Structure 1
Amino acid sequence: MDKDLAAMRVGYGSQDPGGRYDESDLDVDELSDGWLPLMRRWMVTAADAEVAEPNAMALGTVDVQGHPCTRTVLCKGLSADGVLFFTNYASDKARQLEAVPYASATFAWVPIARQITVRGPVERVSAEVTDEYWHSRPRGSRLGAWASDQSQPIGSRAELDAALRHAAERFGGDVDIPVRPNWGGILIRPEIVEFWQGRANRMHNRIRMSRVDDGWIVERLQP
């Protein structure tokens, strides 16, 4: 298996026989209007290419021992303020971010050979923002949020399914299921945003934006 892993590789850019990858090279000029317009364009490109869950991102935090922890969550908002996701505030990731309010999030769109990593401090969003998103969720997702004490141990799948049934019985046919207490949004305010574009011979394009006191620094990085 190790030998097979060592041999696994994909050629990007002009070496790709399927023509799936954008042949135009990423350059610093594309970030003249900031990180947000380009990130939105790449997100749309990923969606148009039918990448599964193009808003999925690997969220990195640190635990109380200072050890890194990662998991995949869904981005539910992009704005000039930052990258938004939602969670139970008692979950592992939320408690870790409360202790160390800084996160890294990576969007990896492998089929189109693009990736974006966002790093920065985090903050909880207002109850109004949470309420607006909550009521846009499917009923099943809202019931699931009530049923699950996120990140806490449970004895079996049967117990978890029973908790969901109990939540459904509790709210009956109510359309307006209220926001669960201690549940809401977390915003990552970008300080560093790096764009990666796959290219032939592992000579990838990497452009990094870093926030400074009077604006942003844009740099090309070696792959």
Structure 2
Amino acid sequence: MAQETSRSIGPVILLGPPGAGKGTQAKRIEQHYHIPQISTGDILRQNVKTGTKLGRAAKAVMERGQLVPDELVCPMVAERLRDVDCERGFILDGFPRTAAQAGWLDAFLENEFFDKSNGCNRLPIVIRLDVDYNELLRRLTGRRSCPTCGRTYNVHLQPPKVDELCDVDGTKLIVREDDREEVIRERLNEFDQQTRPVADYYQAKGRLMTVNGDLPMDQVTAQIFCIIDNQV
């Protein structure tokens, strides 16, 4: 596929549970359309590391074991989205997580993300990766880690060259505690409860596009590119 380097793409939001392949697809979108992938986790860590006013406030909240509130997260996101590399578009990773954040994002984009090429404000292209629950379990329980070097594998999707042994140092791979099935089931249930309102928000506005994430990776990518191309 030819890469895009000039068209204004606008904001792209990928929704989907752990194991749906959002990270892989976000990287492919980034490389194909040359727009940055924006991670709220990275934004938060950078603000804390550099000691910005928002970062100091967020650090104090996290040290109390609490979730960083929207009044701190949203201004950090806004500051990042104003950077010059986001002018043609960007991919949001881990945001919005709530319907309130989705509403804030729409308002921010309507006010500030103005597409000079056609004189229009650009609302997000919202794509949900829909994956069967049992397939999610299969993917997530297939994760293995090297206790020595930290490299990760997946016995179904990215297996080591020698079964159960690390390619780098030959150490026997382990299943981390948070990769055990009972933990994964709990994570998936929590994710569904927390993020369903975000999908409902965009569905109500007629902007939610769904892709079958059970398909082979390249077919999923092709569907995503088709959606983006048809909307820009």
Q: TM-score range by the shorter chain?
A: under 0.3
Which structure: larger Rg? 1
**More strand by percentage:** 1
**More helix by percentage:** 2
Give the TM-score normalised by structure 1.
0.24
Give the TM-score normalised by structure 2.
0.23
